[in-house]
Structure 1
Amino acid sequence: MKTETGVAAKIIYLKDYQAPHYTLEHTELHFELLGDYTEVSAELRFKRALTAPKEAVLTLLGADLELLSVAWSGQLLSANDWQWQDEKWQFAGAGEGGVLSTKVRIYPDQNLALEGLYRSHGLYCTQCEAEGFRKITLYPDRPDVLSTFRTTIVADKASCPVLLSNGNCVATGDSENGRHWATWEDPHPKPSYLFALVAGDLAVLRDSFTTVSGREVALEIYTAEVDQDKCDHAMRSLQAAMRWDEERYGCEYDLDRYMIVAVSHFNMGAMENKGLNVFNTSCVLAHPATTTDAGFQRVEAVVAHEYFHNWSGNRVTCRDWFQLCLKEGFTVFRDQQFSADQLSAVVQRLEDVAFLQTHQFAEDAGPLAHAVRPESFVEINNFYTLTIYEKGAEIARMLHTFLGADGFRRGSDHYFKTYDGQAAIVEDFLNSMAVANGLDAGAFVSQWLRWYRQPGTPVVSVNSVWQKDIQRLTLTLTQTQSSKSSSTPESLPIPVRLGFIGKEGELSTSLNGVTANEHLLVLEQAEQSWQFDDVSQVPVLSLFRDFSAPVRVKAEFGDADLAQLIRLDSNSFNRWSASYALATREILALAEQYRSGDLRAHQPQESALAAAIAEVWSELAASDPALAAKMLQLPSLAYLSDQVACYDPEALQRARESVLLQVIAPLQSALGTVLAKQEMLKPYVYSAQAIAARSVEAVALDGLARLQSGAAAAIAQHWLKEAPHMSAEQAALTTLVHHQLPGADDALQAFYARWKHEPLVLDQWFATQASAPQAETRERVEALLAHSDFDATVPNRVRAVIGQFANNNPVAFHDAEGRGYGLIAKQLLAIDARNPQLASRLAGAFGIWQKLDESRQAHILRELDGLLSGDLSSDTRETLSRIRG
């Protein structure tokens, strides 16, 4: 796990890929779960690949294993018969093939990294993606080696009455000394990263689903007994996802049963292991009393995401880990489509885009930037990034926009049919899209592959000229690549959905003889121009509607232009986007005045944003409350930090609060009207309409807290007293704590007393305090770390405190004296010793250092140098080294 200080880590390159010399026809596993340790016996049937040389060497991988015995085709081998260096085990006597039999001993109780097979709170569980299976047994642990599996688990019947693995259960029975066994068979060849095993004392919720061809599939969700009443939403979400995938993509489930297990100690959100998904409890448990609207939506999305992987990831998997975006980006796009169909398409899109622009754009612009398909890596665990997932999803979305819904479906059908049971690469996916739509595959793949190969966020500059006399508008778009791009970037295909907004609303215009309210352009060259006719008045351009491409846009929009879009654009996403852009402009201007000591910062200033929102908000709150709520959620400091050359958290926070106050002040009466409806206190219903009503009330309460703190405190206390669900409770508690309203401390104590036995709710209690935007929160976080309910071995609890403080509380984290940085550095060192994956992800919070002032930079560099001078895992060392530069 650890690396010696100063030793250079090995870099793995895509260009060095070599196909395995041996294929694996079948895997037979036998697990003896024996309390203090586990013994794993494996029989692996190999065959030399047709392309392999005669002198081929059989190479397996193993880590943290006690090797008890090895045999080849029935003959025991000695240590002289193989070589084992680091994680690589090699055997030169495999010839044309045979059966390798091994027996190893591992120690799940000591596995605090939660990778491979581990046991937590009496529950055995696996996490094998990306390279965890090598910690279970010797194996060709790479995604392009696919095998059928037969797995037998033997354990104590009293402590482990439930024994689960991939596929279908084909036999069970009792054995000696109170033990029992179960054998599972997965007929679909899969790579080792999709293997799963769970054993323990679990309750189960059962249901079923009838597929489009008439097969009945048993559905099972396993949890602790106390959590069984929180599984109904996940089950409904699973059934909806199965039906949606059949209807939208033609993908039918292929096993007799589909199982989900909820695990409290889990590094990821969830894992798509074939037929046996292992989930973090936060992504499967949902109940109105304990879960907010955001929690319900997350469960629905993650359940769908992991199910959709059955085809985009499992039936068609990745040839190597450089192709990770092939399964993750494509599947994120699919789960975003699903979520849009379940609730509000507009809200889903603007939330996805806000997240992308805030976090992935910053990743693209910072020291951790990399291509969607990187050319190299040190630790693959460090490349489960927003670029892989979110930007990868945006590429799939652009293809969907470019080809149209029917064309994209033809391409996905071709992809699934052609590469079923294979390990594919990005080129295979693009080739399917081209071939299925009758396009020149070579040219199409070459052009779209650039999106996967070039890091950084493209910039599109906009210039338009309107000729009044002939009613023609000439639009010129120019694309450039950021400094994070390759040395010789090539032009990308960039879909541009475009509308024209006049003084009364949307204009109909003509392009190449086609008259429409909206046009789809594709910017393919460094610079291109288009001529639009019948443009009766000078318009405001509604660019990149629904964010048709993941680019930054440079356009000469005046305040009045953006206000016009807010008032009149027919595209709801672009109305919100215009408000976001105008808010950003006003906040940044005011922050610069604060930074420079400009006296104008302290004088009343006009706000085009406030005027535009005041004009539309009351009507919007009635007609589209979800959009109305988003209009009042101004850009976060995380987003704003990516828009400036020098990040001053204090100035930006002060400016943001000032602009927000200007926006909500004229809305005081409207906020009161919203709150008077008391939608938040109605019984819980999970629907787009109900969620929208609650979201606009929560935003209204947050706004009122800035205008009338006493009235807001009274409403929040009333919500806490009468709350019929957690959405109301959490909104009230957050308002009290984050605005330091009267009764906040009492509310925290009462909330803790009520929910201390519910781990996920207690995570919210921790997170609410750790994210409170006050300088003194650092001291509160130190107290939370010493709290009896803080458990540093539980990733969810660590993220609720350390993650919230470092990533969602810039005011306290960026303490001018560097104390926030010191707190996080100390915690990283301790976490890394137990759980390198978790530590590496948390370390990313330091990636902002180059944008800070010299004093803060010095504080962070001191912490980075201190960490890097010590003993770290390769995961965390790689992340910190890339950040340090």
Structure 2
Amino acid sequence: MSEAKTIYLKDYKAPEFTVKTCDLVFELFEEYTQVTNLMQIVKMDKSAKDLVLDSVELELVEIHLNDVKLEEERYVVEKESLRVLDVEDEFKLIIINKIYPHRNSELEGLYKSGNIFCTQNEPEGFRRITPYIDRPDVMAVFKTTLVASREKYPVLLSNGNTESNFKLDDGRHGVTWSDPYPKPSYLFALVAGDLGVVKDKYITASGKYVRLNIYTDKGNESKCKHAMKSLKEAMQWDEEKYGREYDLSLYNIVAVDSFNMGAMENKGLNIFNSAYVLADEDTATDANFMGIQSVIAHEYFHNWTGNRITCRDWFQLTLKEGLTVFRDQCFSADLNSKEVQRIEDVKALRERQFVEDNSPMAHPIQPDSYMAINNFYTATVYEKGAEVIRMLHTLLGEQKYRKAMDLYFDTFDAQAVRTDDFLWAMSKAGEMNLEQFKRWYHQSGTPKLDVDEKFEDGTYTLTLIQKIPHAVDGSEQKPHFFPLKIGLLDESGKEILEKTLLISKEKEEFLFKTSFKPVLSINRDFSAPIIIDQKETHYGFLMKHDTNSFAKYEAAQLFGIQIIESLMQGNDINDEYVRAYGHILESDLDISYKALLLELPSISALMQRQNVVDFELIYDAIEKLQKHLASLYKEKLLEIYSKFHNPLCVDLDANSIGSRSIKNRCLKLLSSLKSNEMAVMANEQYSNSLTMTDKVAALDILENISSEYSAVAFKHFHDKYRQNTLVMNKYFSLLAASHREGTLERVIALQKDAAYNELVPNLVRSLVGTFTRNYKYFHAKDGSGYKFVADKIIDIDKINPQMASSLAGAFKIYKKLNVQNKKMMKVELERVVSTHSLSKNVYEIVSKIIKNQ
């Protein structure tokens, strides 16, 4: 892969040319699509001579410059570009080219999802449609005409508003769309298909009428109700919280099965992975409904934080993504439980981003280089980026943050900008110096905070020492500036103080006058994305008494980790933890929150703390703790299960969701007893419950404790849902996550299931992706898991490099493995990286893992 080129932020240069208008005509046929592209282009750098357009795998038909057809000596077709020689300062360029969407398995540019034409152009897909200056700082006004068969493709959609419709004598028809707002090419979209639609409307705060449409495969219209409800809630929330109204008279969403991402915010025409649109009680879990609400809102919020103000270059990706994730997290918190939402957000950050930070894939939220930009749509850019915005919100306070956002919108509307421009608005309106804070954008890794406490002569001294990890290249990094929310409790559990400290130095001391030594509750609400290292802990006390919901959860998790690590060393279970766990069982708390408090630490949380990971020890210790708690508190767990188990309830209110959450938590813990009694309970839940949430929870338990019940239940599930791809994703995931013997063999066999299709990313993620997180078998001591996944990466890379590179990320744990597993994994990594014609997507991931072993 000597051809893999590294792109550096320091090499950024403003575009030599810009596109003022882009008029596109797509003539869609089954075997090919012909694209006619008329651009009005202006030279920005007067010293430039030739126009260079990005162009990948396009079949050029002809080029016209100012209405004159160009001969071949006037342009040069290069590997990934088209060079038009010796152009004027301002000119009109027409390019006609052919593309072949039905062959496009990479799902970038124009492709077909089933019988639907659709696009995915972020970040660099538009160059696979037509030659263009395909970069986010080139913003043009687009007009798009689609022409296709009336019978096969009655619905023709693109960005903006409908300008005209027409019919042709040959059975074809056309629609012209006009988008009045300048946008970069990555926000261009088109869809053509025979689709069903759900229609609604929204009246903005100023009284503007907006038509809302959600398009999907016919027959799925009834599954769009929750998505439509979520969209209208998001529109209202953005008006109330940020003062942002929608700016077009039409908002379209289209759901397709084959999509590399979750969704895409194309101006006025959002294209969604169907998993984040379609849901009803029979086919979607509570988590699916919550996910739809979040992603629908996320893409809508991008209209202002991403579309109206976009990125100057792709190194600025967190500018739109970190900010918009923060916005969708706040939206979900306002509509549901703030406490539960905050914990779920932090769980996701730690499961994905903290692991990324402690791997060869570590990078700042604003990277300074990349080979394949698709590889930087990461948890760091998104979720850690959101935490950075949250810290700014905390530092400024609600009023100044809103003032700063207003300044940002007013100053940079219709521009392609940098993270520094955003921070300028925060600093100016927030009246705060943020120079040191900028390190969060440019430094990688998760900071650690050493905590030391001392009490003498009526003074409690809190000493905090920042430990900033080195960058991946070994270079030193500097202390961060961040807010740290703490609480102090007396011996009875009463809160005597809550304060947000501002941390900026490597070592700092804070003094508090008090007549007794208080109990410290630290990093409340997860005020900063850091790891706390305390010499003195009071986890059992905080589990019982802490008044901050996140800190209480954190204490339960950290105490659980402490107990499991002690078990791994051969020690007995600490009675204080067991009593604290029992206290939570008996507590009168919000049931969704209580279900989270009862959750034991994950494998991921435990392996992050080990220098050399021993998965067998982790699994054995967790199983021992589960059995102990389940045996001791069996009657209470059964009581809670019985109280909240309502198999006929399909409601989505907070109480119903919470009831399902807590009783399934209890049943899962009870299943560790692996008794016939629990297998019967799980089987009855599967058979009698109406919601997919309960069915999936029961199937997971049956698969891991009773092969007899499991075989019957999974056959029933498969027979009932085999035609529903979204539900079959759950089927494949459950089996790929199984801890029973023979899981890998069953995963290999499942690839032959009629419902499985390697061309559909969701299915690959469900089967192969889930298996990579099945640490028991992915890290099998015979290396079979590594070999299987390496084979799949090599195979899928030929089809869809973006999907393959995502799977390759599973190997980033390499440096934490024992000698035997390292050796076996290295064999597979070297086999992957030496594969002929390997994509730059996969090469970048695997080569970094090998280089930083």
The yes-or-no answer on 1:341 pairing with 2:318 is no
What letter matches 2:725 in structure 1?
P
Per-residue CA deviations over 1:743-780 (Å, capped at 9, x if unaligned) read 11100001111111211111111111111123421111
Distance between the aligned counterparts of 1:267 and 1:711, measured in 2? Answer: 42
Distance between the aligned counterparts of 1:775 and 1:639, measured in 2? Answer: 24
The structure 2 residue matched to 1:476, chosen from 460, 463, 478, is 463
What letter matches 2:465 in structure 1?
T
The yes-or-no answer on 1:825 pairing with 2:790 is yes
The yes-or-no answer on 1:23 pairing with 2:54 is no
Per-residue CA deviations over 1:491-548 (Å, capped at 9, x if unaligned) read 211110000122211332xxxxxxxx31011101111111112x23212211010100
1:388-427 correspondence to structure 2 within 5 Å: 388-427=381-420
Deviates more, 1:236-245 or 1:729-738: 729-738
* Length-normalised TM-score, structure 2: 0.98
Deviates more, 1:657-666 or 1:132-141: 657-666
Per-residue CA deviations over 1:414-473 (Å, capped at 9, x if unaligned) read 11111100001000000001111233xxx42x2221100001111111112112x3x221
What letter matches 1:619 in structure 2?
S
Q: Secondary structure at the match of 1:371?
A: coil
Q: Secondary structure at the match of 1:187?
A: coil
* Length-normalised TM-score, structure 1: 0.94
1:575-586 correspondence to structure 2 within 5 Å: 575-586=552-563
Give the corresponding residue for 2:533: 554
Give the corresponding residue for 2:510: 530
Distance between the aligned counterparts of 2:777 and 2:740, measured in 1? Answer: 6
What letter matches 1:460 in structure 2?
L
Distance between the aligned counterparts of 1:271 and 1:520, measured in 2? Answer: 37
Give the corresponding residue for 2:800: 835
The yes-or-no answer on 1:652 pairing with 2:657 is no
What letter matches 1:804 in structure 2?
T
What letter matches 1:527 in structure 2?
K
The yes-or-no answer on 1:640 pairing with 2:606 is yes
Distance between the aligned counterparts of 1:87 and 1:456, measured in 2? Answer: 35
Distance between the aligned counterparts of 1:672 and 1:650, measured in 2? Answer: 29
CA contact (8 A) 2:725 2:755 kept: no
Give the corresponding residue for 1:767: 733
Give the corresponding residue for 1:449: 438
Shift, 1:605, TM fit = 3.5
Distance between the aligned counterparts of 1:86 and 1:740, measured in 2? Answer: 56
CA contact (8 A) 1:42 1:101 kept: yes
The structure 2 residue matched to 1:460, chosen from 449, 455, 460, is 449
1:108-507 correspondence to structure 2 within 5 Å: 108-439=101-432, 443-444=433-434, 446-467=435-456, 469=457, 471-484=458-471, 487-507=475-495
Q: Secondary structure at the match of 2:454?
A: strand
Q: Secondary structure at the match of 2:526?
A: coil
Distance between the aligned counterparts of 1:117 and 1:345, measured in 2? Answer: 40
Give the corresponding residue for 1:611: 579
CA contact (8 A) 2:573 2:625 kept: no
Distance between the aligned counterparts of 1:739 and 1:640, measured in 2? Answer: 23
The yes-or-no answer on 1:855 pairing with 2:820 is yes
Give the corresponding residue for 2:652: 686
* Deviating 4+ runs (over 6 angstroms): none
1:659-698 correspondence to structure 2 within 5 Å: 659-698=625-664
What letter matches 1:163 in structure 2?
L
Q: Secondary structure at the match of 2:670?
A: helix
Give the corresponding residue for 1:512: none
Give the corresponding residue for 1:514: none
Give the corresponding residue for 2:8: 13
Shift, 1:842, TM fit = 0.8
Distance between the aligned counterparts of 1:837 and 1:565, measured in 2? Answer: 44
What letter matches 1:476 in structure 2?
T
CA contact (8 A) 1:21 1:57 kept: no
What letter matches 1:585 in structure 2?
Q
Distance between the aligned counterparts of 1:396 and 1:55, measured in 2? Answer: 39
Deviates more, 1:292-301 or 1:353-362: 353-362
Distance between the aligned counterparts of 1:829 and 1:392, measured in 2? Answer: 31
What letter matches 2:56 in structure 1?
A
What letter matches 1:525 in structure 2?
K
CA contact (8 A) 2:58 2:129 kept: yes
Distance between the aligned counterparts of 2:629 and 2:420, measured in 1? Answer: 48
Shift, 1:89, TM fit = 2.2
- Give the direction of change, closer, same or farther, for the CA distance of 1:616–1:55 in structure 2 (3 Å limit): closer
Give the corresponding residue for 2:87: 94
The structure 2 residue matched to 1:587, chosen from 561, 564, 568, is 564
Shift, 1:56, TM fit = 4.3
Per-residue CA deviations over 1:695-740 (Å, capped at 9, x if unaligned) read 0011111112123622222222222222122112111111111333
The yes-or-no answer on 1:716 pairing with 2:696 is no
Distance between the aligned counterparts of 2:48 and 2:398, measured in 1? Answer: 50
Give the corresponding residue for 1:47: 42
Shift, 1:180, TM fit = 0.3
Distance between the aligned counterparts of 2:309 and 2:655, measured in 1? Answer: 37
The yes-or-no answer on 1:875 pairing with 2:852 is no
Distance between the aligned counterparts of 2:420 and 2:382, measured in 1? Answer: 18
What letter matches 1:557 in structure 2?
E
Shift, 1:233, TM fit = 0.1
CA contact (8 A) 2:279 2:288 kept: yes
Shift, 1:90, TM fit = 2.4
Q: Secondary structure at the match of 1:789?
A: coil
Distance between the aligned counterparts of 1:853 and 1:822, measured in 2? Answer: 17
The structure 2 residue matched to 1:572, chosen from 549, 561, 564, is 549
Distance between the aligned counterparts of 2:776 and 2:690, measured in 1? Answer: 33
Give the corresponding residue for 2:500: 520
Q: Secondary structure at the match of 2:321?
A: helix
What letter matches 1:876 in structure 2?
V
Distance between the aligned counterparts of 1:94 and 1:8, measured in 2? Answer: 30
Shift, 1:680, TM fit = 3.8
Could you tell me which runs of 5 or more consecutive residues in structure 1 were left unpaired when the two chains were aligned.
Answer: 1-5, 509-516, 594-599
Give the corresponding residue for 1:511: none
What letter matches 2:171 in structure 1?
G
